[in-house]
A and B are shown apart, each in its own frame.
Chain A
Amino acid sequence: MAAITDLSDLINRQSGGNSGTPNNLFYHKVPRVAGVAATVPVAGRGCSLWTYDGMPAGGAVPTVAAIPDRTTTGAIPFTAATGGRDLHLIGASITPLTAGVYLLYDRLFHIGGLAGNSTADQTVQGGTPTPALTRNTGGAGNMAWYEIYTIVGTTSTTLTMTYTNQAGTAAQTSNIFFGATGAREVTRAQRIPLAAGDTGIQAIEKVKLTATTGTLGNFGITIAQPLAWIPVGVAGTAGWRDYSTGLPGIPVINPDACLALMFIPSVATAPEVWGCIATVEK
C-alpha cells in the first residue's frame, strides 16, 4: 500500500494527476423502506439505514449468514482502484433532515432471521466461522451490533454474544440489553460491547437471549469496520470530515467494501440524507 506522500501529492491526485482518478460519489437516502414510511428511530439510539430506499436502493433483510460487498444491493457503489493502486477516502459529508451522528462503515458480515423469543443458542457464524470475514480479517477495530428487522417483544432481556477477538481468542463473551422500548423497534441498531481488553472481532460464533422478549420478530447481527463518524449538529446543514487535514488520517477503502450507513439521531425523526464521499487512488 502506497501512502499519500504530502499535500502536493494529494492535490495532484485530486485534480486527476498521476492516475489519481478523483471521484465524488453522491448518494441519498429517503425515510422509507421498500416504499413504506420508515419506522421512527429512537433519539440517542443507533439506527441502521441499510434498508432505507434511495440511491443506492435499500438493502434486503439478510436471511442467512452472508458477506456483503460493493455489489450487494444497498451498498454505496464505487469503482475499485485498478493498476495496483489503493482507494483512499479523503472526505465524507452528509446533509440530513435529522441531526445526529452518522457512521460510514464497511458492512463486513450480516445475518438475519434470528428469533426474539428464543433462549437457545442462535448460530451466527458458528464454531468454524462460516462464512468467515473476507475483509479486515484480523478483526482490529471491527464492531458488532444487533439490528432489528421485525419488531421484537416488549420484555427487556439480555443478549450475550460469543465471539473470537482480534487476537484470535475464541469463546469471548459480552452482553447488552435487548427488547422493550428503545431496543425493539425496526431499524434499531445497538452496538454490542466487547469483553475487557478486546479491541475487535474476527468472528461471532453465536448469540443467546437470557429470556424471551415475548415476540418472535426478526433480528440480525452485523459486523462492521467503521470508516467515518460524521457529526451533524443542525438538521439541514452539512457534516463534513476532511481527512486531508484532520484525524484519523486518510483511510483506505477495501476494493470489495460494502459501504453503508448507520446513525445516532438527536431527535426521533427518520432521516432524509444527502451524502458524498470523495476518493483518490494511489
Chain B
Amino acid sequence: MALADFDAYVDALRLNRAADFQTTNIASSFSRSAAMWRFLLPAPAVPTASVALDKTSDNAIGPIPNATSGKLQILGGRFNTSGIAGVSAVAIDLLNVSGGLNGTVTTEQTTNLPTAALTRHTSGEGVMIGLVIYVSIGATATTVTVKYTNQAGTANRVSTATSFGGTGFRDVARLI
C-alpha cells in the first residue's frame, strides 16, 4: 500500500518497525565487494546445495516484520561500523546460494548447479550473479565465466570473463 503523503510517511516512521542485526568482523578487501551476509550472527552455514532462500534463512536479516496488508516499504537503513572510516552497503534480496565449486579446475563445473528455481523475481529481470569465496582460492590471477539463462529465458548465455583468484579476488567472503 502506498504512502499517501508526507504525513503518512512520518506516521510510518513512528511505527519504528526495525529489523536489527549484527555481524562479526567482516573480512574484506579495500573497495572490493564482500558477501556481508556471511558474517551475520549467528553465522549461516556454507551452502552444500543450491538453496532458494527466504526470510527464514540464516542468511537473512531478521526478524522482518510481517505485513498485515499491503507490502513493506523500506523507509531507511543505518549501519554502525567499527574499525573502518567509510563503507557502502547494498540491501539485497538474496534469492539463491550454492557452494562446493573448485578453484583449481579449468573444466566446466556443475556442482550444485543449475541453481534451484527462483521463487521471487522469477523473470530474472534485474537479477545479478555473484561468485562468493567460502574458502580461500589460489594466488594466481585468472578469469571465470558463468553460463546462465537470461531474463528472456535464453539458456546457455555465457558471461564475459572476469577476474578470479589472485590478490583481491581470492579471500573468504569476496563477492565477485
Asked if A32 CB lies within 8 Å of chain B CBs, one says yes
Question: Inside 8 A of B88's CB, which chain A residues have their CB?
Answer: 95, 236-238, 274
Separation of A235 and B28 alpha carbons in the complex (Å): 14
Contacts of A16 in B (CB 8 A): 1-2
Bound CA–CA A18/B4 (angstroms): 9
A78 CB to nearest B CB, Å: 10
**A and B contact pairs by CB, cutoff 8 A, 16 listed:** A7-B6, A8-B4, A8-B6, A11-B3, A11-B5, A11-B9, A12-B5, A32-B162, A35-B143, A35-B161, A55-B128, A95-B90, A96-B31, A234-B86, A236-B31, A236-B88
A147 at the interface (CB under 8 A from B): no
State whether B87 touches A30 (Cβ < 8 A). no
Interface presence of A137 (CB below 8 A): no
| A58 touches B (CB below 8 Å) | yes
Q: Chain B: residues with CB nearer than 8 A to chain A?
A: 1-9, 30-33, 73, 85-88, 90, 126, 128, 143, 160-163
Kindly report which residue of chain A lies nearest to residue B141, judged by CB atoms.
A37
A262 contacts partner chain B, Cβ-Cβ < 8 Å? no
Knowing A28-B128, A234-B86 are in contact, say whether A11-B143 is a contact too (CB < 8 A): no
Q: How far is the CB of B123 from chain A (nearest CB, A)?
A: 12
Write out, one digit per residue, whether chain A residues 182-206 have a CB within 8 A of any chain B CB (1) or not (0): 0000000000000000000000000
In angstroms, Cα B160 to Cα A235, docked, is 25
Chain A, residue nearest B161 (CB): A35
Set of chain A residues within 8 Å of B86, measured between Cβ atoms = 234, 236-237
State A17–B6 Cα separation when bound (angstroms). 13
The 10 closest A-B pairs by CB, nearest first: A17-B2, A8-B5, A35-B161, A237-B86, A236-B31, A95-B88, A15-B3, A238-B88, A15-B2, A97-B31
Q: How far is the CA of A11 from the CA of B75 in the complex (A)?
A: 10
SS of A interface (majority): mixed
Q: A30-B163, A274-B88 are in contact. List 19 more A-B contacts (CB 8 A).
A: A7-B6, A14-B3, A15-B1, A15-B3, A15-B9, A15-B73, A17-B3, A20-B2, A25-B126, A30-B162, A35-B143, A55-B128, A58-B160, A97-B32, A235-B30, A236-B31, A236-B88, A237-B88, A238-B88
Residues of chain A with a CB closer than 8 A to B32's CB: 97, 272
Chain A count of residues within 8 A CB distance of the other chain: 37
Task: Determine chain B's interface SS by DSSP, over half rule.
Answer: loop
Residues of A within 8 A of B (CB): 7-9, 11-18, 20, 25-26, 28, 30, 32, 34-37, 53, 55, 57-58, 95-98, 234-238, 272, 274, 276
- Given A17-B4, A26-B90, A234-B85, A32:B31 Cβ within 8 A: no
> How many whole Å from B145's CB to the nearest CB in chain A?
8
Question: With contacts A53-B162, A57-B160 known, is A236 near B30, CB below 8 A?
Answer: yes
Q: Within the complex, what minimum Cβ distance (angstroms) separates A35 from chain B?
A: 4
Measured between C-beta atoms, what is the minimum distance from A194 to chain B in Å?
36
Which residues does chain A contribute within 8 Å of B31, judged by CB atoms? 96-98, 235-236, 272
User: Is B2 within 8 A of A12, CB to CB?
Assistant: yes
Interface centre among B9, B31, B143, B163 (most CB of A within 10 A): B31
* B129 (CB) vs chain A CBs: closest residue: A55
Shortest CB–CB separation between residue B29 and chain A, in angstroms? 10
In the assembled complex, the CB of A75 is this many whole angstroms from the nearest CB of chain B, namely 14
Q: Which B residue's beta carbon lies closest to that of A233? A: B86
Given A34-B160, A35-B143, also A12-B90 (CB < 8 A): no
